[in-house]
Amino acid sequence: MKKMLGCVAVLIAVGMLLMLIAHNRLVGLIIIALLLFIGYNCVCGD
C-alpha cells in the first residue's frame, strides 16, 4: 500500500511541475496520459 501511495504522490508531483513548464494543452494531455500509464504499471506491475 505504501508503494502505491508513494508512486501516486510522485507522479502527481511530476505532473504538476511539468504543467507549470508546459502551457500547451496538447502537451499537458500527452503528459497526463504518460503519467497514467506509468502509474498503472507501478500499481499493477510485478
pTM above 0.75, yes or no: no
- The confidence score (pLDDT) of residue 46 equals 60
pLDDT digits (tens, 9 = 90+) for 32-43: 788 788 877 777
- The confidence score (pLDDT) of residue 13 equals 79
The full set of domain ranges for the chain reads: 2-44
And the C-alpha cell for 46? 510485478
For residue 7, what is the DSSP state? Answer: H
- The confidence score (pLDDT) of residue 24 equals 81
Would you give the end-to-end CA distance of the chain in angstroms? Answer: 14
pLDDT digits (tens, 9 = 90+) for 1-46: 777 777 887 888 788 888 888 788 887 788 778 878 887 777 777 6
CB-based burial label for 43 (10 Å; 0-12, 13-18, 19+): exposed
- The confidence score (pLDDT) of residue 22 equals 75
